[in-house]
Structure 1
Amino acid sequence: MVERVRVAVVGVGDNVSALVQGKALYRASRSVAGLRKITGEPPPTGVPVSRGITDAADAAEVDRVAGELAGAEVVLYAAPSGSTRPSRCSSS
């Protein structure tokens, strides 16, 4: 059985924030009580947050983000809420 899995979450918004805060709450309390509605201030997550790619044509920027994701064993991509279509990568 795997004890730990390194997960990278790519995305923005309330859904991603709720996922990270819920995990931190569960880790702190070992209880699922309150995961649907957090009351009060959630515990610190200790999760690093980094700026994503703003210019896919900039090779250095793509390399920076790829380097930050390199240690992840699972990558979750969360499209912004209300998005009518998924993000697309364009090849040059």
Structure 2
Amino acid sequence: MLSNLRAPEIILILVVVVLLFGAKKLPDMARSLGKSARILKSEAKAMKSEGEPAAPSEDTAAAAQRTIQAAPGDTASARPATEPQQTKQS
């Protein structure tokens, strides 16, 4: 169904979107969509790296605290990642 869209139909859809949301809100919406995509990408990367083998020693793992950032270099929204403590059972 979407493959039948040609240039006039796409232009009409874009005009309707601009009329509905207004030209002022579109850049903010695009910015928030991009930020959400960056957050999703960083969370997926963090989850993928959690599946890899553990660090060589617990001392270095405890010393290096991980932080989750919304975007590279974005320190305003960075937050520390808390990880569960592993206990040794005898």
TM-score (norm 1): 0.21
Larger Rg: 2
TM-score (norm 2): 0.21
Instruction: Considering fraction of residues, name the structure with more strand.
Output: 1
Higher relative contact order (CA 8 A, sep 6+): 1
